[in-house]
Structure 1
């Protein structure tokens, strides 16, 4: 039997003891994230500080789970796009033999029953890393895509280390003029820059941008996906479905990534 740990808020302990760990997520990624119980306490509970940054109840507990050795799970680093599908015993072996086990995780594509929960234990709340392994001592990136808006100390950090792209995006009429001028000149670089400005907004003139779904340059179509994916403008889902059938696999992958997020 392979032994893993799952970190969850202490407020959920009674429910976990009564009915196990419920699967979370969607589609093929609906399940439970685990980590093998290793001789190192620090490595075993390394995800604690990162999970503690998220909203929700404070104070975590470690739920120890035992699975059959032949149970099929996925294992890899958090940044792996296609984690390996292996048995639970093989997942433990791979993590234990990794030169650096920080950032690894195991995904079980189902719920964990109450019978598979062996222990629920308190953990030291200062254990682990934040943001990513080796982030300590590295200057954070404060661009629009990387900065954590509303996080602890984020305002002071932005004031101390202003990013050249900080500030509000250009007004919609300016962006639209730039977009039309770039289309007239067939200037792909200017077109991508205009789309980048629109990506900083929550809504936009979808009807004026939808024609770019047929642009011959796939980079423009990818930028269009990344621009409108988070808009609340009506018609965005239909446009993403259309781009999801794009002949270029990179465009289809961009749509998939946007829908997963």
Structure 2
């Protein structure tokens, strides 16, 4: 059985232990990544998710059957539907797996959860992989009003 990790705010621990992981409303399923040898790649989305205002995240490790169908792909590309083990192998085989995501199209039951643990605060990338050295985009989608430093970035581009 393939092992995956889902990142969620620490306040959700009790609910997850009781009822499992449910997809957020309006999403196609539960977003996750396979557990890879690299801690950095396994928890790569943590820093980007923190931009939404939540500061403390936990990693929920769970197993799904090997033949269960999931969607996998780069966040800005079209996903492909593969089995869980094929998706894990596809992400692991990438020379640069940053930006990949797996979507399980159903809820994760409490019995499938292997463990829950805290995530290192400095893990991951912001904005997009390899964003260092590139100025941030000043459009209102990438840089919404009220976000820390947004006004300075918009003023720079005017």
**Which range, TM-score by smaller chain?**
over 0.9
Structure 2 residue 154 is the aligned partner of structure 1 residue 158: yes
Is the aligned partner of 1:131 residue 2:131?
Answer: no
Q: Residue in 1 aligned with 2:62?
A: 65
Matched, 1:47 2:50: no
CA displacement at 1:11 relative to structure 2: 0.5
Inter-partner Cα distance in structure 2 for 1:146 and 1:8? 22
| Structure 1 segments unaligned to the other structure (5+ residues) | 164-261
Matches within 5 A, 1:171-210: none
Matched, 1:89 2:110: no
Take 1:144 and 1:110, find their aligned partners in 2: how far apart are those partners? 32
1:33 equivalent in structure 2: 31
Find the residue that maps to 2:145 and give its secondary structure: coil
Partner of 1:76: 73
Root mean square deviation, CA, Å: 1.4
CA contact (8 A) 2:21 2:107 kept: yes
Tell which has more relative contact order, 1 or 2 (C-alpha 8 A, sep 6+): 2
Q: Give the unaligned 5+ runs of structure 2.
A: none
Aligned to 1:176: none
CA distance in 2, matches of 1:108, 1:76: 12
Tell me, in whole angstroms, the C-alpha distance in 2 between the residues paired with 1:127 and 1:113. 27
3-state DSSP of counterpart to 1:96: helix
Answer yes or no: is the 8 Å Cα contact 2:28–2:103 preserved in 1.
Answer: no
More helix per residue: 1 or 2? 1
CA offsets 1:135-177 (integer angstroms, 9 cap, x no match): 1210122245543321111122333x133xxxxxxxxxxxxxx
1:15 corresponds in structure 2 to 15
1:205-244 Cα deviation digits (max 9, x unpaired): xxxxxxxxxxxxxxxxxxxxxxxxxxxxxxxxxxxxxxxx
Q: Secondary structure at the match of 1:16?
A: helix
> How many residue pairs were aligned?
158
Q: Give the ranges of 4+ consecutive aligned residues of structure 1 lying more than 6 Å apart after TM superposition.
A: none
Q: Which has the larger radius of gyration?
A: 1
Q: How far is the alpha carbon of 1:23 from its aligned partner?
A: 1.8
- TM-score by length of structure 1 reads 0.58
Q: TM-score, normalised by structure 2?
A: 0.94
User: Which structure is higher in strand share?
Assistant: 2
Q: Secondary structure at the match of 1:34?
A: strand
